[in-house]
Structure 1
Amino acid sequence: MTPEEEIDKAATPAEAPAVAEEIAADPYAELEADVVKWRELAVRTAADLDNFRKRSAREREDAIRYANQSLLEDLLPVIDNFEMGMQAAAQDKSSMIYVGMDMVRRQLNDFLGAQGVTEIPAEGKPFDPNIHEAVSHEVSADVADNTILRVHRRGFMLRDRLLRPATVVVAKNEKEG
C-alpha cells in the first residue's frame, strides 16, 4: 500500500498524524525526497555553470575587442598635435614636408580604421551630449538651435564605445541670447 492510500484510508483526522509519522519514517520516502532535492540542485548547478561559461566567453570577447583602448586613448593627443603640424605645413602643399606628413596622416588613419576607431561626425550635426562635449555656445541666425558650428577637438568611437567625445561649439538661438 502506498503512503497516499494510507492517508486516504485514515477514517478520522486524529488517525492522519499517525499515518503521516509512519510515512515520514518510511526510508524510501526519505530517499525519494533526497533524490528530488539533489536532482533539482544538479539542474540548477548545471544552469549556473552554463551561464558562467557564456558570461566568461562574452567577457573574453570584450577583452579582446577593447584590449587596445588605453593605447588608443594615449595616441589621440599625439594625433591632435600631428594634425596641428599638418595645418601649419598646409601653407605650402607642394613642399616635401607636407607630402611626407600627408603620407603619415593617411597611415595613421588606416591604422585607426584597422583598430575599429571611427571619427564622430560633428560639424553641422545636432548636438548629442552622449558623444559631444560643448565648450561654448554662439548666437547664430544661419543654423538651427543646438547645431554644432565648429569642432575644437575631434571625437572618436572604438567600435560601439566612446573613446573620446568631440569638443564642439554649439549654436544658440538669437531670441534666447
Structure 2
Amino acid sequence: MTNKPHDPKDEELERAERDAEPQSLDTENVDTLDGLEEALQTDDDAAMSQSDQEADILAARVAELEQELAQAKDQQVRAAAEAQNARRRAEQDADKAKKFALEKFVKELLPVVDSLEKGLESMSEDVSETHREGVSMTLRMQLDVLKKFGVEPVDPHGEPFDPQYHEAMTLVPNPQMDPNTVMDVMQKGYTLNGRLVRPAMVVVSKQA
C-alpha cells in the first residue's frame, strides 16, 4: 500500500478536530483551587470573628464609660446641692445671729421698762404733772428704741391663753369670761423679731 503524501490542509483539519475535543480537567489543579477557596473562606471567617470580638469590646467599653459619666454627673449634682444647702444654712445662721444678737441686751433692759411702767402707775395724784410727763416720755422713748430694733410687747389682756407666749401664774374662776382667757397681765412679755424673749405673766380664767 502506497503512502499518500501529507496534505497541509489535512493536517489543519486534524488539528482542528483535536482542539474541538473536550479537554480533561487536571485533578491536581482542581484540588488546588478548592484549597484556595477554603483558605480564603477561613480567612474571611477569622477576620469576621475578630471584628465581632473587637466590636463587643468597644461596646462594653462604651457602656462602662457611659456608666462612669452618669456617676460623675450624679456626684456633681449632689456636690452642688450640698454646697447650696451649706450656703443656705450659713446665710440663715448669719441672719439669725444678726436678728438676735441683741437678745441678751434686751433681756437686761426689760426690767428698766418694767420699773418705769410700775413707777408711772403708782404715782399718786400729789405728783406734779411735769414729773409724771417726764417719766411717761422716758418710757415712750425707751419703747420706741426697742421697737426700732425689732422688740414688740406681748400684752394679751382678754385674749385666749397661749402657752407659747404666756405664763399662767394662777387660775381664777370667772363666770363673766370664757375659760382659758387672760384676765389680767401681771407683767408684759416681749418678742425680738418674732421670737419670744420673755413670756407674759398672766392670770387665766377658769370655769366657775
Distance 2:171 2:69 in 1: 71
Q: In the alignment, residue 144 of structure 2 is paired with which amino acid? A: D
C-alpha displacement at 1:152, in angstroms? Answer: 0.8
- Structure 1 unaligned runs (5+)? 1-18
Cα RMSD after superposing both structures = 2.3
Q: Deviation per CA, 1:93-119, whole angstroms, max 9, x where unpaired?
A: 634322211111110110111111111
The aligned residue for residue 38 of structure 1 is 72
The answer to whether the 8 Å contact 2:155/2:185 transfers is: no
TM-score of the pair, normalised by structure 1: 0.76
Structure 2 counterparts to residues 1-177 of structure 1, below 5 A: 23=57, 29-89=63-123, 91-92=125-126, 94-174=128-208
Distance 1:32 1:144 in 2: 70
Q: Deviation per CA, 1:122-141, whole angstroms, max 9, x where unpaired?
A: 11111111111111111212
Distance 1:90 1:35 in 2: 84
C-alpha displacement at 1:163, in angstroms? Answer: 1.3
Q: In the alignment, residue 84 of structure 1 is paired with which amino acid? A: K
Distance 2:149 2:206 in 1: 36
- For the pair shown, which has the larger CA radius of gyration, 1 or 2? 2
The answer to whether the 8 Å contact 1:23/1:29 transfers is: no
Indicate the SS of the match to 2:122: helix
**How much identity, in percent, do the aligned residues show?**
34
C-alpha displacement at 1:147, in angstroms? Answer: 1.4
Distance 1:90 1:32 in 2: 88
Distance 2:152 2:138 in 1: 18
Question: Per residue, is there more helix in 1 or in 2?
Answer: 2
